[in-house]
Structure 1
Amino acid sequence: MRVHIFILIALYFSLNTETYAQSKRDKDLMIADYMYTHLAFATAIDHYEKVVEHNNDAAIMVKLADCYRMIDEFEKAVACYSIAIKSNSFPNAAYPHYAETLMTLGRYEEAKQLLITYQNNNPANRSITNEIRSCDYADSLLKLPPTGAIYFESFNTDGFEFGPALRKNDLVFTTDSVYSTESSKKDKWTGHSFYQIRYTELNAEGRASEAVKNLGTKVNSKYHDGPCTFCHDGDTMFFTRTNMGISMINNGPKSDPNKLVHLQIMVASKQDPDTKEYKKIKPFVHNKSTYSTIHPTLSYGGQMLVFASDMPGGEGGIDLYMTTLDARGKWTKPVNLGKGINTEGDEVFPSFDGDSILYFSSNGWVGLGGLDIYKSKWDKQKGVFVVLNNMGIPVNSSYDDMSFVESRNGSIAHFASNRPAPKDNDNIYSYVAQSIFLKLIIIDGATKKPLENCYIELISKPDARTLSSDKNGNTVTPLYLQTDYNARINKAGYRPVEIPFSTLDVIGNDTIKKIINMQSDFQISYTTIILDEKTKFPITDPSIVWIEKEGKKKDTIRLATGEQLNVELKPNSMYYMYGLKTNYYSKQRFVSTKGIESGSGTTRIVDTLYMKKLEVGEIYKIDDIYYDYNKATIRQDAKPALDQLMNLLTENPTMKIQLNSHTDCRGSDVYNMKLSQNRARAVVTYLVERGISADRLKFKGYGETLPVTNCACTECTEQQYQDNRRTEFQIIEL
């Protein structure tokens, strides 16, 4: 909330209504302007709203917009600015505020156009350049995956909670929420109660309790107190306070002609180990009545103190300063952290992690809008802090993000933000760093060689990016947490691949690894339809058993009446298939892609599979049940044909058959008769072992008595001999 930056001053004023003897119509405007000038924005809104009912002058609408902006009512602020800007009298100074509000709402392009207009009219204003860059930068920053997960703390209220700090096993924070029967004196800026310092206990994992306790009556005064920082043992505390003594309340601040009361850092010490109350409180040695010192943070060793101040001689708005303890235990003269940290904007809410890492919030660096949190590190050689990075999402947002504090073991952090949340106003979040990566290894499916320069699209609701594979076929990229993804991979000459994956169930830091086999975009398609052999009409709801010969892959595909089978075939492969339908039989159909030259595009094979209606007494040859010479064992290449017969018997459960086996002419008649009997018996045994009832099966050997080739026995070819060594089945009963 803007009050966190700009409540560097606490205003002393009282409004004597007798001063205003103007008409009733003008009275609301006079009161509103007075409250606006004296930063009582919540009160000013009530009066401006009455004024704009009959007067929407641009200057008045801008002031109303400013009031809404200062109390975080951004949508209402934009509505007022949008009315005011239609007037030719829209104040030039309002452009940056309007743009800032649009950026907070994530409307970066609109904000950019306003800033460009303002820059054209004010070319000497250097800070606007950074804000324009932020509009461009925000879009790219928002596309990066979050660096971890954030959790809304359960102790948040409908009021303001911000400024988290660590005191041993306590999470100390600042809030305006009123607990129990406490005083509820209101601040005219916000319309809320004054800030007080509270704490909640942390468990061993760094998680905060819902129970909130008061830090003590000596620390918490009648006006604003907080935020704060502690030495590592918790015995000494530095905190921000509105310095409103009795004399000042009665007479106003004598040192400031504008009656502005500047905020100061206070030092509390001698903590009672039982009550946790601090017994001694005194002003910080470098406080001044003419400017504010706020937001202190102590290094872990207690030798460095960094704070924010609007003291003269800074880089712009509010700057960060550092003081160190000298050998006598005295705090040295504060030193501005310089242009490496401070900008023309505001740098506030510093927080040490150990002795060398400093987090802070700024609206002057390029970021997402509002206050962003940045990480910096102390450079011992140069004696300065150097900014390392913007903390990115989810820590930063287009709203105000501040007060990032890490636990001692680094497992969890806390920060505050006024982003939209289950509770209104500022809230405290915990943050757990987590990194999940996707590693794709993309290879040619045939050669297994890596594929370079593949075009990769990551698709999810919060995340849409394009990537490419390196010379090793690899790409590695961070992912969003708790997100479902699709990845689409494309490369010229290959068929597109799309794979789903998810980070929903990934715990901790991990890498999701996927190996992608890209297939050539050369395609061989096979299309067939199943017809009745006699009528040539489509078979009603048939099935096709489709078998990939090399891969031993088998599928049963059900088709609607008249539906075509469409399958994609591999190059240099063999397939066979047959139809399956009650009371029908089809021969096996072989499909080969061997000899089809690869290229680009699609080669189509169109076919028709005929099925013959079963009839009692009919004899059907079983394709490819052959036997080695002088043997009755089932060969491996005969098993697919026997499996077809098994499926036929399963599809027609009342059908009974007789297996007939034949030999070639070599050998004696008696021997061949016995051999054929054994071969027929072997088929029956094969079927029975696979669940077909023996009652449905008969067998008979015919020896060489019924050859299918009419060659003289000594003149037959080896193929003719094999043709005669065959098995058939005859339907006995349907």
Structure 2
Amino acid sequence: MKGILHKLLVVFVGVSFLSSTQAQDRKLKSAQSQYDKYEYIDAQETYLKVVKKGYKSADLYKNLGNSYYFNSQFEEASKWYEELVKNYPNEVEPEYYFRYAQTLKSVGRYDDADVYMKKFAESSSDDQRAQLFQDEPNYLKRIDFQSGRFEIENSSINSSFTDFGSAFFGRFIVFSSSRDTLLFKKSVHQWNEEPFLDLYRAEYNPTNGELSEIEKFDSKLNTKFHESTPIFSKDGNTVYFTRNNYDGRRYGNDKKGTNRLKIYRSYKNTQGGWTTPQNLSINSDEYSTAHPALSIDEKTLYFSSDMPGGEGQSDIYQVAINADGSLGEPKNLGNRINTEGKETFPFISSNNDLYFASDGHIGLGGLDVYVTRLNPQTDEEKLVVNIGKPVNGPDDDFAFIVDDESKRGYFSSNRDGGRGKDDIYSFLQLEDLKSFCEITIAGIVKDKDTQELLPGAKVSIYDSSNNLLESFIVGDDAAYSHVVKCSSKYFVRAEKEEYTTIEKLVETPGKTETLDVPLLLEKKVKTANVGDDLAKVLSLNPIYFDFDQYYIRADAAVELAKVIEVMNQYPDMKIDVRSHTDSHGDDAYNMWLSDQRAKSTVKYMVSKGISADRLTSKGYGETQLVNDCGNDSNCTKAEYQLSRRSEFIIVK
């Protein structure tokens, strides 16, 4: 089947295909003049030096502990977590009890680890890791809930050629095949000397699904070109099927000379044969329509098409079948079903479930079979669910049909181990679709300072017991995505050479949705230019002053110690200290207060050894607000807070 259909629209006939994406060229920013740069500011080394000089804070210990923990240097991490829990017991979030316990285990201190796991369990009783610790079960990785529901078998009707696309037709199964035997007139196309697809039928045993007594279908439907994927009305008197753009006399092409696919309709005549197939109004010489399916009441036709205006390469559409047989206007099923990829081979079961094949939804590779409720009433029914193994695998799996009463059906696949290029597989459905909630954690990895994408970064997903679920390297779009359970906790870790590793705790909700979890990495080695704010370069915490005061608080001293350490590393650096207020209070008073705070900051830094001729200061009051929260505004506390800031501008 590597002939005409393969050249036209390969997804519509289920053959193997290769997809390619265009790699995006990314411009590299030229390096700025070394004259204005201060390089190699290593945050971790700075923090260590600050700590060695006697400065302490819970934030410092957390950051230091995490910097080692994320790099699996658990013995070093344990030291800093121990300082945290001993010196700042009231500032320890439960997560740090867990991490400390993990590092204690790494050095053989199991009894101590149990102590802190108990603290963790007491403060996080609803945390799954706490429950696992209390119950002592083995924590298993998330499995695919839908897998294992089908028992499959390669059908005996398959040939060494292409066989696919079956349909129920009374006591028969009708399918497409390119087989060519001595029983039938040999018909081949000139490109590769393989037979064209024709429609065949085989007797169907609903008890065991076995097929037998194969013969060609009606000659009115079969032509010297391709026919495939039929669907029959319940009374067996109407058939819709896919064919090349050929009406028995004219072989039609689009403007570029390509022969497209069309859906034809035929009726059973009084002699038991079939009428000449009709070209439907939804067809066009300029795009393909294929793989028809009928609604339960047979008043709606579903099909796949690459017509203009769709979501992706091929979409699933519906169109009304009027009482006189005419068709309405096609309607795209929308982005709940259709993606930018390929959605094709629809089938409507008697339970009103829509089965279809897609390479756009998350799957195991190639085309996978999915199912969703056709007219959903709940959020769960809106889910598009991969039906799992063994129906789906790494190859193309498609053309799924099922009899909901007998639980038997067929699908097609080009998987290894078949008899031909595509084979038809029979199956017995052992259990119904499992009800579940599904969360997608997704995001983009970026440089925190420049907001540039970071392709090549490694993203790892861990469960609440720190078991690795998946690890992958992001591509040019720097995007990642992973499906996890609802009402659970996970850790998303991002790492890249020359960047500091970060980890985020993600608590999933109890209903299906996609969580946006962006990952912003900071460079270990940072660059600062003249005019830059060192507070932003060092990611300082806000430097607060007590109300109406300008003395240096203990928490502010920790942040200032980081600035002082950098200035010690670069003795030629000069800083302009700038203090700002929000719009509350008298304008003149705010100017005076901010100036006093800037001078107080300089005085403190001089007392710690920084030469006064390297520091200047100025208060700006409320003259440089970062937002529109000026006098007589009605902003929130958080919005006002944005303007209350200290800046350390590099002037040399």
Q: Which TM-score bucket, shorter chain as reference?
A: 0.3 to 0.5
Highest RCO, 1 vs 2 (Cα 8 Å, sep ≥ 6): 2
Q: Which has the larger radius of gyration?
A: 1
Higher strand residue share: 1
TM-score of the superposed pair, with normalisation by structure 2: 0.44
